[in-house]
Amino acid sequence: MSTDWNALSDEAFRAETRTFFENEFPGHFKFLPRRMRWAECRDWYLKLSKKGWIAPNWPREHGGMGLSPTKLLIYFEETERAGVGRMPDQGITMVGPTLIRFGNDAQRGHFLPRILAGDAIWCQGYSEPNSGSDLASLRTEAVPDGGDYVINGSKIWTSMAHDATHIYVLARTDKAAKKKQEGISFFLVDMKTPGITLRTIRNIAGHEEFCQVFFDNVRTPKENLVGELHKGWTIAKGLLGFERLNIGSPRRPLQAMEKLEALAQARGLMADAAFAERLTQLKLDLADLGSLYGRYVDKARRGEAMGPDVSMLKVWSMDTYQKLSELLLEAAGEYAPMEGEVSFGDTAIDVLSPFYNSRPGTIYGGSNEIQRNILAKYVLNLPS
């Protein structure tokens, strides 16, 4: 059995995580303004795996840290403090929790250890060129053929697909279903399978973070179907709950807040009462986000389903992130358009990257407009 980190006091756990991240994470990758590529972060991933810290959100019985909500927040706060960038982590944040909840013993036994060991790096096959926020309208198809399913179609905005060894795919398996949410199934696919091709897409900051993935008669064994045939929408909703939990993490806004506070100190902006008021309001928003996030982390840790109300976590997180990035640019004044680190006295701050990184935040993972519609219909019971 792995170490019970929850037995430590919060202060002791924070001290241990702070020491480890500050001393062990490679200095030349600290506060990287983009997602790390697998070739860059593989050694770090394996170091975390060897320590047993690669899956802080997984239960201990499956090789995770099993952290309580408070300690998970501490874990993320200390990674942000040390400038630890985000890795290709779909296996940890999405696939692992999904297989733990919806997969069978064979799938868990095969894939979970490989995710922990860095042998299976995952990407998400959800959005399509004409099926983004309206994901249920997807057109990628999977047809049974002998012991396989044959997949044809394409997926887009697939983060870090060029580094992935595997992809999880939503595909239509019953075109005659009366409702578009029905007749969809959830598959696990090896990226080395013949018929898969990639096209990289540059984001607004010029980084090749996204891809379009094409499936041309791609075969995946029937044992790679997760859950029941035609019932993939239930799994998709569960996974989207995990995704909104991940997107709703305070770690991105926390990093922007740290930059903003450092910039405010360097430029003496706290003497401006109007600026200090706006900064204080954002601090309160960030504190509310941390409290809300902790509540959903606790639900996930107990194995409970994420209800439609988790949408407010995604909305709150990304709205707060964008507001912080906008105030950061205002605070930088004439230096706002400059890429990379800018010197403010003895302090060097990258003020532009948070703005670039926060722009798509209200779109991916289901646009904030769609999330508000979900909250209105399924939480507040307002008429359509």
Count of Cβ atoms closer than 10 Å to residue 383 Cβ: 5
Instruction: Find out whether 353 and 344 touch, Cβ atoms under 8 Å.
Output: no
Known catalytic membership, residue 78: no
Do residues 289 and 323 lie in contact, with contact meaning Cβ atoms separated by under 8 Å? no
Report how far residue 69's alpha carbon sits from residue 47's, in angstroms, rounded to the nearest whole number.
Answer: 23
Exposed e or buried b for every residue in 35-69, given b needs 16+ CB within 10 A? bbbbebbbebbebbbeebbbbbbbbbebbbbbbbb
DSSP-derived secondary structure for 120-185: --EEEE--BTTBSSSGGG---EEEEETTEEEEEEEE-S-TTGGG-SEEEEEEES-TT-SSTTSSEE
Token pair belonging to 244: 């909104």
- For 241, half-sphere exposure in the C-beta direction (CA atoms, 13 angstrom radius) is 21
Q: Cβ distance 85 to 35 under 8 Å?
A: yes
d(CA 295, CA 258): 24
Identity of residue 363: I
Marked catalytic residue, from 22, 141, 243, 369 = 243
Indicate which residues carry an active-site annotation.
243
